[in-house]
Amino acid sequence: MVTSIRNGMPMLDTDGKPMHAHGAGIMEDNGYYYMFGEVRDGDKRVACYRSKDLMNWEFRNVVLRITSEKKPHYMRTDLDLVYHGKGVNIERPKVLYCEKTKQYVMWMHYENGVDYNAARCAIATCDTVDGDYVYRGSFNPVGNDARDCTLYKDKDGTAYFFASGRDNADMMVYRLSDDYMSVDEQVKALWAGQYREAPAVFEKNGKYYMLSSMCTGWNPNQGGSASSFGIEDRWSSISNFGDSVTFNSQPTAVVKFGEHYIYVADRWDPVDYNNSGYIFLPITIEDGACHIEWADEISFDVKTKTYSVFSIESEDYRIMANEFTAYLSSDGADVFTRPLSYKDESLIWNFWEKGNCYNIVHKATGKGLASDGTMRDISDKRSMLWTIEKCEDRVRIVNVESGKVFAVRGRRVMLASPDDKFGYCRIVRKY
Ligand code: GAL
Atom of ligand 1 nearest to the CA of 270: 12
What is the spatial distance between Cα 199 and Cα 213, in angstroms, rounded to a whole number?
A: 7
Q: What is the Å distance from ligand 1's center to 325 Cα?
A: 14
**pLDDT computed for residue 280 by the predictor:** 98
Report the CATH number of the 5-310 domain: 2.115.10.20
Q: Is the pLDDT of residue 410 over 80?
A: no
- What is the mean predicted confidence (pLDDT) over 137-159? 98
Instruction: Check the CA dihedral 292-155-228-105 and report its sign.
Output: positive
Q: What is the pLDDT of residues 238-280, one digit of tens each?
A: 999 999 999 999 999 999 999 999 999 999 999 999 999 999 9
Find, among 73, 13, 14, the residue nearest to 37 by Cα: 13
**pLDDT computed for residue 323 by the predictor:** 74
197, 214, 246, 324: residue to mutate for ligand 1 pocket, most atoms within 8 A of CB? 197
Q: Is the pLDDT of residue 322 over 70?
A: no
Q: What φ, ψ does residue 266 adopt, rounded to 5°?
A: -95, 145
* Pocket lining for ligand 1, CB < 6 angstroms: 23, 91-92, 148, 197-198, 217-218, 250
Q: What is the pLDDT of residues 119-146, one digit of tens each?
A: 999 999 999 999 999 999 999 999 999 9
**pLDDT computed for residue 405 by the predictor:** 95
Min mean pLDDT across 77-91, 216-230, 371-385, 398-412 is at 398-412
- Using CA positions, which residue lies closest to atom 11 of ligand 1? 217
- CB atoms < 10 A from the CB of 204, how many? 15
- Using CA positions, which residue lies closest to atom 5 of ligand 1? 217
Atom of ligand 1 nearest to the CA of 23: 9
What is the spatial distance between Cα 368 and Cα 351, in angstroms, rounded to a whole number?
A: 10
Q: What's the DSSP call for residue 79?
A: -
Answer yes or no: are the C-beta atoms of 333 and 299 closer than 8 Å. no
**pLDDT computed for residue 193 by the predictor:** 98
Burial of 73 (0-12, 13-18, 19+ CB in 10 A): middle
Q: What is the Å distance from ligand 1's center to 196 Cα?
A: 11
- Using CA positions, which residue lies closest to atom 8 of ligand 1? 198
Q: Is the pLDDT of residue 29 over 70?
A: yes
Q: What is the Å distance from ligand 1's center to 305 Cα?
A: 32
- Using CA positions, which residue lies closest to atom 7 of ligand 1? 217
Instruction: Check the CA dihedral 97-177-191-37 and report its sign.
Output: positive
Atom of ligand 1 nearest to the CA of 215: 7
Q: Which helix (H) or strand (E) holds 132?
A: none
Q: What is the pLDDT of residues 96-107, one digit of tens each?
A: 999 999 999 999
**pLDDT computed for residue 159 by the predictor:** 98
Answer yes or no: are the C-beta atoms of 366 and 350 closer than 8 Å. no
Q: What is the Å distance from ligand 1's center to 23 Cα?
A: 9
38, 39, 88, 91: residue to mutate for ligand 1 pocket, most atoms within 8 A of CB? 91
- CB atoms < 10 A from the CB of 277, how many? 21
Q: What is the Å distance from ligand 1's center to 356 Cα?
A: 40
- Over the chain, what is the mean pLDDT? 96
Q: What is the Å distance from ligand 1's center to 69 Cα?
A: 27
Burial of 117 (0-12, 13-18, 19+ CB in 10 A): exposed
**pLDDT computed for residue 77 by the predictor:** 96
In b/e form, how buried is each residue of 178-191, taking b as 16+ CB within 10 angstroms?
eebbbbeebebebb
268, 269, 273: residue to mutate for ligand 1 pocket, most atoms within 8 A of CB? 268
pLDDT category of residue 409 using cuts at 50, 70 and 90: confident
SS3 string, 96-131, reads EEECCCCEEEEEEEEECCCCCCCCEEEEEEECCCCC
- What is the mean predicted confidence (pLDDT) over 376-392? 96
Distances from the Cα of 316 to the Cα of 143, 275, 340, angstroms: 47, 20, 15
Single-letter amino acid code for the residue at 180: Y
- Using CA positions, which residue lies closest to atom 1 of ligand 1? 217
Find, among 272, 317, 265, 270, the residue nearest to 292 by Cα: 265
Which residues are registered as beta bridge partners of 211? 200, 225
Atom of ligand 1 nearest to the CA of 198: 8
Atom of ligand 1 nearest to the CA of 216: 7
Indicate the class that CATH gives domain 317-429: mainly beta
pTM > 0.85: yes or no: yes
> Taking the domains of the chain in order of start, what are their residue ranges?
5-310, 317-429
Q: What is the Å distance from ligand 1's center to 217 Cα?
A: 5
